[in-house]
Amino acid sequence: MPISVDAELVNMSKDEFAVVSYDVMNEAFRLHRELGPLFEEKIYQKALIERVKSLQEEVRIDVSFQDFSELYYMDLVVRSGAVFELKTVEHLNSHHHGQLQNYLLLTGLQHGKLINFRSCKVEHKFVNAAVSHSERVHFSVSDLDWHATEGFGEVEKSFVKEMLRD
């Protein structure tokens, strides 16, 4: 499955990510004290862009397979390897965690952070990729028990196998 990212990315160790995260969170806390919790996500994003060095915004991830194509956008990538996904929601939830986890898996990066500006205090959560890209793509599939059904036959089976292989 071809995945292209509109940025040069580098994997960071946990310690490297912690240093970047510390700097970004200092600015996020300062920004929240200045603006409060009532603005839309884009306002906080633009303000962080002005305050944080070595930052890329709206980094595009393009995923395609045959006729399928999907675009994703990472809010902020700092120092080419630290992903920050910004939110303005009542509380962070598993959907937000899954979104950032997906970005990490698609890009091969290992560390990211969710930041929510809507709450009274800045809510933030580390998200780490549980497996590396190479671990994720090494698996096997057995079709010994495959039984074609109406509307899902050999053509669909071949498609699924090809997609999983890719």
Q: What is the pTM of this model?
A: 0.82
Closest CA relative to residue 20, chosen from 137, 103, 140, 111:
111
Other beta carbons within 10 angstroms of residue 64's beta carbon come to 13
Other beta carbons within 10 angstroms of residue 122's beta carbon come to 18
pLDDT digit string, tens, across residues 25-77: 999 999 999 999 999 999 999 999 999 999 999 999 999 988 889 999 999 99
pLDDT classification of 141: cutoffs 50, 70, 90: confident
Closest CA relative to residue 98, chosen from 67, 66, 70, 72:
72
**71 SS3 class:** strand
Q: What is the mean pLDDT of the chain?
A: 90
Average pLDDT for 121-138: 82
pLDDT classification of 131: cutoffs 50, 70, 90: confident
Question: What pLDDT is stored for residue 165 in this prediction?
Answer: 63
CA distance linking residue 27 with residue 29, whole number of Å: 5
DSSP 8-state assignment for residue 78: E
Question: 143 near 161, Cβ under 8 Å?
Answer: yes
H helix intervals, the chain: 14-35, 41-51, 94-107, 133-137, 154-165
Average pLDDT for 9-23: 96
Other beta carbons within 10 angstroms of residue 78's beta carbon come to 21
Question: What pLDDT is stored for residue 85 in this prediction?
Answer: 98
